[in-house]
Every structure is written in structure tokens, then in C-alpha cells.
Amino acid sequence: MVNGCTRLQPVVMQLGQVAALAVYLAKKHNMDVDKIDVTLLQDLILGVDGYLYPTHDVSPDNPSFKDIQKNIRDGKIKLEYYSEGWVNKARIIYK
């Protein structure tokens, strides 16, 4: 049970950070949080070196990382999800 709790910590931290960015955008544009353009929020996340999809074969230090993340979001690149031991991973499907 303890191991399961520690595995969720990065996800919970990222959710908190995204919530803060959403509130920032809502205040900046004087609108309700649920009216924010999700694509704008996602681009802001990428702009602060965050990620939208946990690709394990393309790291954030890759010069194409942000473009790859946007292409995954837009459906131009597909991911394959798999487990390796206790770790759930995703990698780009190259076809």
C-alpha cells in the first residue's frame, strides 16, 4: 500500500501545478476556470518544461520534445502503453 501511495506522488504534484496554471489563466482573462481553452493551458504547461504525455523514449531535453508532445495531443503521433516491471510506460509508435 505504501508503494502505491508513493507512485502517485508525481501525478498529484502535476495536477496541483496544472490547477494553479488554470487559476492563473482564469484570473488573467477574467473568466471562470471551466471556460479556459485547454489547448492554451497545455501550451503553457509545455512552455514551463512540463509534459502532456509521459513518453519514455523522448525526454524533455530533446529539442523536438514540445513539438512531439503537441503532435501526440493532436493525434498525429500515436503512443503504445506498456508495463515494465512495476512501471507503466509509453513510447511512440513508429510506422
**Residues in contact with 87: Cβ distance below 8 Å, sequence separation at least 6, in sequence order:** none
Q: What is the pLDDT of residue 5?
A: 60
Which of the four pLDDT bands, split at 50, 70 and 90, describes residue 92?
very high
Q: Tell me the per-residue pLDDT of 6-43, one tens digit each, with 9 for 90 and over.
A: 666 777 788 888 899 999 999 999 999 999 999 999 99
Q: Tell me the per-residue pLDDT of 34-70, one tens digit each, with 9 for 90 and over.
A: 999 999 999 989 988 888 988 888 988 899 999 999 9
**Domain ranges for the chain:** 1-50, 53-95
Residues 25 and 31: their CA atoms lie apart, in Å, by 8
Judged against a pLDDT cut of 60, whether residue 1 lies above it is answered with no
Q: What is the pLDDT of residue 19?
A: 92
pTM of the predicted model as reported, rounded to 2 decimal places: 0.76
Can you read off the three cell numbers belonging to residue 71?
503532435
